[in-house]
A and B are shown apart, each in its own frame.
Chain A
Amino acid sequence: MATLKNIIPILMLFFPVATYSQKDVWTVPPEKAAKVNPLEIKPKNLTVGKNIFSRNCVACHGAKADGQGLIQSASFLTDTFQKQTDGAIFHKMVTGRNKMPPFGSVLKDDEVWSVINYLRVLVNPSVLPPPKDIRIELAASEETHSLTAFLTTADSVRVPLGEVDVHYYIKRDFGLMRFGEISNYTSEKGKVTVSFPDGIIGDDQGNVTVLARIENDFLYKNNESAVVLRWGSLLVTEDAKFNERTLWGSRSKSPVWLLILANGILAGVWGVILYILYNLFRIKKAGKIFIK
Chain B
Amino acid sequence: MDFNEQNKSRRKFLRNLGLAAPAVIAGSGVILEGCSSPEGGSGAKVKVLTADHKLVEVEVAGIAANKESADKSYLTKRGRKGLEGKKFVLVVDLGKCKNARKCMDKCQAVHQLRPDQHHLNVLLMKDSEHTSPYFMPKHCQHCDNPPCVKVCPVDATFKRSDGIVLIDNERCIGCRFCIAACPYTARSFNWYEPIDAEKYKDVPYDIEKNVPQKKGTVTKCTFSADCLREDKLPYCVSACPNGVYYFGNLYENAVTNGTTGETVSLSDLLAENSAYRLMEDLGTAPSVYYLPPKNRALIPDIENDNSKKI
Contacts and interface: CB of A to CB of B under 8 A. Distances in A.
A235 B263 contact: no
Given A203-B85, A204-B85, A250-B155, A174 B248 contact: yes
Contacts of B248: 172-174
Nearest to A200: B253
Nearest to B234: A174
Contacts of A236: 251
Interface string B154-176: 01001101000000000000000
B264 A250 contact: no
Contacts of A170: 254
Interface residues of B, number: 32
Interface in B137-195: 145-147, 149-150, 155, 158-159, 161
B161 A174 contact: no
B85 to A, nearest CB: 6
Interface residues on A, range: 20 to 34
B265 interface: yes
B150 A173 contact: no
A178 B146 CA distance: 35
A251 interface: yes
B253 A201 contact: yes
Given A174-B248, A178-B262, 17 more contacts: A173-B231, A173-B254, A175-B254, A175-B256, A175-B262, A175-B263, A176-B263, A201-B253, A203-B85, A204-B85, A235-B85, A235-B251, A235-B252, A242-B159, A242-B161, A248-B149, A248-B159
Contact of B155 (A239, A247, A251): A251
B241 interface: yes
Contacts, number: 69
Contacts of A265: none
Contacts of A178: 262-263
Given A174-B233, A174-B256, A237-B85, A201 B263 contact: no
7 contacts: A70-B242, A170-B254, A173-B254, A173-B256, A174-B233, A235-B85, A248-B159
A174 B159 contact: no
A70 B248 CA distance: 26
A235 B85 CA distance: 8
Interface of A: 70, 170, 172-178, 199, 201, 203-204, 235-239, 242-243, 246-248, 250-251
A250 B242 CA distance: 38
A153 B253 CA distance: 37
B76 interface: no
Interface string B270-299: 000000000000000000000000000000
B263 A174 contact: yes
B242 to A, nearest CB: 8
Shortest beta-carbon contacts, A-B, top 5: A175-B256, A174-B256, A175-B263, A248-B149, A177-B263
B263 A237 contact: no
B135 interface: no
Residue among B86, B242, B252 having the largest count of chain A Cβ atoms under 10 Å:
B252
B108 interface: no
A178 B147 CA distance: 38
Contact of B86 (A173, A175, A176, A201): A173
